[in-house]
Structure 1
Amino acid sequence: MIIVDGTPISTSSQGRERLVVSLLENPVLVSASDSFKALPERKISLSDECDSNGSTQFKCVYVFQREYATVDPARVKCVTARCDCDDRYCSVGELVGTDEATTCVGLLIRNPVTGMTSVAHMDSPAVVDLGISQMLSFVIDSTTPTELDVHLIGGYQDASLKRSNGKNNTENYPESLGYSFPLCSKILEALQCSEEKFHVQTLCILEHNTTRDSVGTPYPVVTGFLVDTCTGSILPATFDKTSRGPDEIVRRVRVSVSSQDPSWKGKLLDTYDTHNDRFQIAACSWSTRWKSIAISLQQLSDSEILLNCSTSPLAEGPDFVDNEKRLCDYLIRHPNWTQTFPRREPRIFEWTAGEGWVRC
């Protein structure tokens, strides 16, 4: 069940589309979206997380496309740090965030009683049902039932754009809907049909997350966010290459190949060990055919890589093509997945003060 400003949203017989439209028109959510977009964007870099001695002050759990992570603030010591946006000091716990979301949607579910915070980067309607179940398995506390705080950020009015390779077209939606609308409507439908109570506080999606250039081409306004698990506060955010770790390229490879690994069908990729507060990047397999695909992609121009690998070629960040080339390099050098995940064991990284995430 979805709740907005204390009022349950009634289930409509008109289906998903009407639910999305009614929520987008809700004045409380319109105001919340405008307020969120007005916040200064936080630019996360590894250097920003270090004090004058070079020691890291706080941890950041970054979530890639089709991944999720749930952080228990009870296992994290809250510290005091200076806010970037002004000269005040604020309480900072472990930070969780994601970016690079154009047609994708970042979903944040938080238990306001326990502080348990789960962030997912969803890229397809096919991962929504199981993905939300994965997130709720950590967030729900049967001893203290409560409304769960929800924020949806990402996705824009991409319907006018020509589809690229259709890699996210996992359900039979008309092409005229683009990628973002089917994903957003599926997420909202899943929340509405759930027995849990979801207090939607931010809905910065679709028309609320769209701007246009001088010729009318649509672009997303916000492509990422950061949440402080100690307070639950969120900010628009972008991350640079140094802060999208650990194991950046291996995790990007998993995003590309996971759709052909049956063990991940319909699921979000396990990335983080909530109980032990460490990254535990679960194994994913791929066939040697991916080496041939990677070699073929490397023969393409930058514009051709964008058209073939992105659902939003006009809206991608400046490092998109470079990331795809590095991904291809990895697949060419590691055509056998067992080189990366021997015995299908996870790759584990633990936090070390002053060094960040270090592989065990």
Structure 2
Amino acid sequence: MIFVDGVPFSSSSSSTNEENQDLVSLLQHPTLISASDSFKATPHILIDTSALTNHVYVFQREYATVDPALVQLLGTDEATTCIGLVIRNHKSGMTSVSHMDSPHVVDLGLTQMLSLLVDQNLDAAELDVHLIGGYDDTLLEHNNGTSESNADVDSHSFPLCSKVVEALQRRRQHFHIRTLFVLAHNTRIDSNGISHPIVTGFVVETCTGTITPANFDRSSRSPDEVVRRIRVTVSSGDPTWNGKLLETYDAKKDRYQIAACSWTPRWQYIALSLQQLSDSEILLRCSTSPLSEGPDFVDNERRLFGYLIKHPNWKETFPARKPRIFERTADGGWRRC
């Protein structure tokens, strides 16, 4: 069940489809508009390993739940049409972040996130929630300065946002929406009338629950960056992960436990083909928002292709389908076990 300002939320309008109306009404809620304005005005920070001790980074389609006694910062970035979902138990401080990229992973993904946040046998828990990302990828700007949604453009963001809100509303836990920085709230329009996200990443201070717009440099997205990116690309073909978020981090042991994901040898052929494309063609083929990706998007994709070309057999990466485990070192880095 969703709460805003401590009050159960219920949409009173019937002007749109019932499944979307809660999202539309929440976007128009004065408290959440004010929260979006405050979040947008917060200066971005850059996360790098030189400034951190204990932090955990979440890639697309991953999630991680952390104990504030062990982890100071938890976050994600590179979200354009994806949504970063934060759920925090404000009694225990336990915090979960996911990087959702499809409506198909929302229901089971939410169950995964809640598994360490609440006791399923007790009454409904009180949880703080933030949704960040998912810019309006259908918005067009006209010469007269007005803007409207283009019905001829398939949106990736809206169905995902709507599904997340619907799933939260159906659960018995009490989800207190603190931030809803998505769609129009998270959209700017450039001089050519093209829409872009304002914020593509954030970090959570686990002890306080404070959310700050943030981006991570490559060094702070470790460990096992390329393998984790590959899991995102190939996981749809692995039935183990059907409808699920990718398991990544062990909250009890404070270590990355990157669960196995399989791929077929055909991915070597696909990677070889994609590696031959120009940068602009890779953007068009591999991104849901080719005009809004970060400057390192193509390079990240090429590194991924290179790994699949070199390692067509997934068992080389995950022998006996065992997870790749990384423990934290004294200097804040990671060492593979």
Per the alignment, residue 147 of structure 2 pairs with none
2:327 pairs with 1:353: no
Contiguous gaps of at least 5 residues in structure 2: 141-150
The range that moved more, 202-211 or 134-143, is 134-143
How far apart in 2 are the matches of 1:46 and 1:322? 21
Q: Is the 8 A contact 1:102 1:156 kept in 2?
A: yes
Task: Deviation per CA, 1:149-205: give whole Å up to 9, x if none.
Answer: 0000001110258xxxxxxxxxxxx86441000000000000011111100000000
The range that moved more, 30-39 or 347-356, is 347-356
2:302 pairs with 1:302: no
How do 1:46-85 and structure 2 match up within 5 A? 46-49=49-52, 58-74=53-69, 76=70
How far apart in 2 are the matches of 1:240 and 1:304? 25
User: What is the CA distance between 1:16 and its match in structure 2?
Assistant: 2.2
How far apart in 2 are the matches of 1:19 and 1:301? 42
How far apart in 2 are the matches of 1:249 and 1:336? 15
Per the alignment, residue 197 of structure 1 pairs with 174
How far apart in 2 are the matches of 1:97 and 1:24? 23
- TM-score, with normalisation over the residues of structure 2? 0.93
Per the alignment, residue 332 of structure 1 pairs with 309
Percent identity over paired residues: 65
How do 1:255-334 and structure 2 match up within 5 A? 255-334=232-311
How far apart in 2 are the matches of 1:201 and 1:46? 29
Q: Is the 8 A contact 2:54 2:73 kept in 1?
A: yes
Q: State the 4+ residue runs in structure 1 displaced beyond 2 angstroms.
A: 11-14, 141-146, 174-177
Tell me the C-alpha RMSD between the 2 structures: 1.5
Q: Is the 8 A contact 2:32 2:180 kept in 1?
A: yes
Go from structure 1 to structure 2 and tell me whether the alpha carbon gap of 1:153 and 1:307 turns closer, same or farther (over 3 Å shift).
Answer: same
**Match for residue 120 of structure 1 among 98, 106, 117:** 98
How far apart in 1 are the matches of 2:300 and 2:246? 19
- TM-score, with normalisation over the residues of structure 1? 0.87
2:1 pairs with 1:6: no
How far apart in 2 are the matches of 1:144 and 1:15? 28
Task: Deviation per CA, 1:23-45: give whole Å up to 9, x if none.
Answer: 00000000001101111111011
Tell me the secondary structure at the aligned position of residue 204 of structure 1. strand
Q: Is the 8 A contact 2:124 2:174 kept in 1?
A: no
**Match for residue 132 of structure 2 among 153, 175, 192:** 153
How far apart in 1 are the matches of 2:196 and 2:68? 34
Tell me the secondary structure at the aligned position of residue 270 of structure 1. coil
Per the alignment, residue 84 of structure 2 pairs with 106
How far apart in 2 are the matches of 1:135 and 1:354? 29
2:18 pairs with 1:15: yes
Tell me the secondary structure at the aligned position of residue 269 of structure 1. coil
Query: How many residue pairs are counted as aligned between the two chains?
Result: 323
Counterpart residue type for residue 26 of structure 2: L
Per the alignment, residue 47 of structure 2 pairs with 44
Q: Is the 8 A contact 2:88 2:209 kept in 1?
A: yes
Tell me the secondary structure at the aligned position of residue 135 of structure 2. coil
Counterpart residue type for residue 60 of structure 2: Q
Contiguous gaps of at least 5 residues in structure 1: 50-57, 77-92, 162-173
How far apart in 1 are the matches of 2:66 and 2:96? 6
How far apart in 1 are the matches of 2:211 and 2:332? 26
